[in-house]
A and B are shown apart, each in its own frame.
Chain A
């Protein structure tokens, strides 16, 4: 193989990769609500809301979020969240997600449990 052929191979890989990316890429997280995430398993979205209560914040964070509806959010990192903080949450409705905190189990059965990829204080 000579340098010209190698250049051509690199060019083909570049174009093929860009086409594959353009065809497969979809934004994973778009603005959503707790109600919308609750309607479909494995859905993802960005939630904006107020922290009603922080159950734990170290080494993981477990809190309830209110955006008009209430959900329990599990975030696998420590935070400094406090009650009444406004937050932006990149959340997923993982059907297998179960909270381990006993007090959370006492919550009403209809409350949604969500997994957070990222939580940002606003």
Chain B
């Protein structure tokens, strides 16, 4: 019976999602060297990854809320937290993920056909899309001073990305985790009573569809993750609201993983650590594709359910003092995890990334500009493989 394996995988995914820095890819690497093989371990890993793609929004939404002085430069989730709409932020990400997985499962045969015929064209146009996104990061700043700072941050982040090319986790932790959380400790956070009910309307469905398409394309591109995709899509298509952006992000996150499973079948190419581990562990049969798809849809339901329920619990126990304590604990945990998984080099990369992240926040520059650390190395990678 594979249902117990799916449930075990989902529990592993929930735990991985709630711990900042722990990713299903880390667990997949451990499983890759294990003697397990076949449907059970495949279902475990798929369940873990899809569930984690939902629950990992909980620590990012509830920890590290900045104050009203930095309101304009913070990520949409924190904006909604300040408005007392943390539950709505969570529900927006869940809605995006659910739509992505349900529509994605219906579109899988078309996706197969599309990537078999167009994968090379997608890879050829990717460096141009990435380069254009970098230019927009800089020139979308209307103030000349901010434009110069944005250019500086793009160059600095790109340098860090190339210098610490195997330290993606420490860099992301520094830019988006520790920098924001440290800044929130310095500033007095706005006290907002969290609303106990949330509304996610049909206006966000368009954002979910955009996210689904973005996640599907990104699942074919090596070196481009969900965060990079979201940053680039946001450059080309401004989402009308924070809720819409979060729905798009939830959709990208789930569909990126969902379609990477189909990509593995269609092209025999792995696009993330979990798929790389699965490549040696599963059977490449039509039955496995069907079972895998059903398992991921089920795991999406479990992930969405647990994310909403856990968020309601988190709202019930968080107040200003506990938020501060949790923020400090979160910083300590991130530092420990970076040290454990990435060693001294990782800690050094994290320190530099944190410094740049803090500079980005204090200068009021969009924090997604720091994604240059991933975009420029990816661009160079594509130019290298195309030449």
Q: How many CB-defined contacts (below 8 Å) exist between A and B?
A: 101
Instruction: Tell me whether B285 and A2 are in contact (CB under 8 A).
Output: no
Instruction: Tell me whether A28 and B288 are in contact (CB under 8 A).
Output: yes
Q: By DSSP majority rule, is chain A's interface helix, strand, loop, or mixed? A: helix
Known: A6-B308, A25-B2. A13 touches B297 (CB 8 A): yes
Instruction: Tell me whether A11 and B201 are in contact (CB under 8 A).
Output: no
B241 → chain A, closest Cβ, in Å? 16
Interchain CB contact (< 8 A) of B200 among A6, A12, A13, A21: A6
A32 → chain B, closest Cβ, in Å? 15
Determine whether B197 belongs to the interface, using a CB cutoff of 8 Å to chain A.
yes
Instruction: Tell me whether A3 and B197 are in contact (CB under 8 A).
Output: yes
Instruction: Tell me whether B39 and A27 are in contact (CB under 8 A).
Output: yes
Instruction: Tell me whether B3 and A117 are in contact (CB under 8 A).
Output: no
Instruction: Tell me whether A10 and B308 are in contact (CB under 8 A).
Output: yes
B34 → chain A, closest Cβ, in Å? 13
Known: A14-B298, A118-B37. A21 touches B6 (CB 8 A): yes
Give the contact-size bracket for chain A: 20 to 34
Q: By DSSP majority rule, is chain B's interface helix, strand, loop, or mixed? A: helix
Instruction: Tell me whether A117 and B98 are in contact (CB under 8 A).
Output: no
Contacts of A26 in B (CB 8 A): 287
Instruction: Tell me whether B301 and A11 are in contact (CB under 8 A).
Output: yes
Contacts of B288 in A (CB 8 A): 28
- The tally of residues in B whose CB lies under 8 Å from a CB in A reads 40
Determine whether B161 belongs to the interface, using a CB cutoff of 8 Å to chain A.
no
Determine whether A105 belongs to the interface, using a CB cutoff of 8 Å to chain B.
no
Contacts of A22 in B (CB 8 A): 3
**23 A-B contacts, Cβ less than 8 Å apart?**
A1-B95, A2-B197, A2-B199, A3-B200, A6-B91, A6-B95, A6-B98, A7-B305, A7-B308, A10-B300, A13-B301, A13-B304, A16-B301, A17-B295, A20-B294, A21-B3, A21-B6, A25-B291, A26-B287, A28-B39, A90-B283, A92-B285, A117-B283
Residue numbers of A with Cβ under 8 A of B are 1-4, 6-7, 9-18, 20-22, 24-29, 44, 90, 92, 117-118, 120
Residue numbers of B with Cβ under 8 A of A are 1-3, 6, 37-39, 87-88, 91, 94-95, 98, 102, 197-202, 283-285, 287-288, 290-291, 294-295, 297-302, 304-305, 308-309, 312
